[in-house]
Amino acid sequence: MKFLKLLTTLAIVGVLYSGCTKSVQKDVYIEENITRPSLTPYELNKIADQIYKNETGGNPKYLMYWSPSENFASLGYGHFIWYPAGEAQKFDQTFPDMIDYYVKNKVDIPQWLKDQKDKGIPWANKKAFERARTTDKRFKELENIIINTKALQTKFFFDRVVDSIPEIVKYVPKERQEYIKNNYNAVADTKGGWYPLIDYINFKGKGIKESEKYNNQGWGLLQVLQTMRPVKKGPQALKEFSNAARVVLEQRVKNKPSERHFLKGWIKRTNTYANSIF
C-alpha cells in the first residue's frame, strides 16, 4: 500500500510539472476519494486573470499592496501574506512558501530574497513599504518576479488546495469526513470548479487555524464545504459553493460587525463562483 501511494505521488508530480499543453483525461488521486485533475496552461492563466481582477481590480500597482489596516504586505496575483519580523501572525503567512516554490521550479530569484524568506519582509511597515516603491532596488526586483510568474503562482494555489484537503478532512469528526470530501469532489469534478476552490482558499484560508475564528466560528474553505448542501457535480455544485461562501462570510460579519464594510466586495467576489469562467 505504501509503495502504491508513493507511485501515486510521483504520478501527480509528473502531471503537474510536465508542462504539457493538454490535460490528462483521467483524474489522479492523492488520497482515497479525493480527486486531483490536471489543469492546462490556458486554464491556469484564466484562473490567474480572474484572481488578479478579484484582488487588484485590474490595477497592477496592487500586485504589491499593504493595507492601512493590516500589519503585513499582500503580494502577487493571490495577495500572498508576508509579515515583517516580530509581527504577530494572525493569518497564514503564504509568501515564504511561494519563495520556496520559486526555488523548486528553478525561477531565477535574487539571493537577497532567498536569504530574507525566514526573516520577514524587508520593510517594517506600510510607510517603509511605500517609500521602497521608488527608492529600493529590491522592491522593483520583487515586483518584476511577481508580474512574470502568473501561471506558476496559480499552480501554487492549485497545489495548496489539493494538499490542504486531506488536512481539512482530518480536522472534522470522522462521521463528517465523507460529507466534506463529497462536496469538495462535486466542485472539483465540475467544469470551472477549480477557480472557486483555488480562489476561496487563497482568499480566506483553510478554516482550521484557531486564530482565524470569531466566536469559535471560522470562515475558510472547510466552513464553506460544511455549509454546502449535498450536491452532485455539475453547474449546481458551483451555485451551491457560491451560496455557501456567501453564508459563511455573512456569519463572519455577524461575529465581527466592524468588518461589515467589507461584505459587499466579498459577496461580489463569491458571486463569480456561481458559473464557470471557462
pLDDT at 101: 96
Check: CB of residue 277 under 8 Å from CB of residue 192.
yes
Q: What is the pLDDT of residues 176-199, one digit of tens each?
A: 999 999 999 999 999 999 999 999
Domain boundaries, the chain: 1-38, 58-148, 172-278
C-alpha–C-alpha distance, residues 82 and 92, integer Å: 9
Which segments of the chain have a pLDDT < 70? 1-33, 35-37
Question: 216: helix, coil or strand?
Answer: coil
Quote the pLDDT of residue 211: 85
Per-residue model confidence (pLDDT) at position 213: 93
Cell (9 digits) for 170: 482530518
pTM of this structure: 0.78
70 phi/psi in degrees, rounded to 5: -120, 160
Instruction: Write down the pLDDT at residue 31.
Output: 54
Q: Could you report the per-residue pLDDT of 42-70, keeping only the tens digit for each?
A: 888 899 889 889 988 888 889 999 999 99
* Beta-carbon-side half-sphere exposure of residue 183 (alpha carbons within 13 Å): 24
Instruction: Please answer whether residues 213 and 245 qualify as being in contact, where contact means their C-beta atoms are separated by less than 8 angstroms.
Output: no
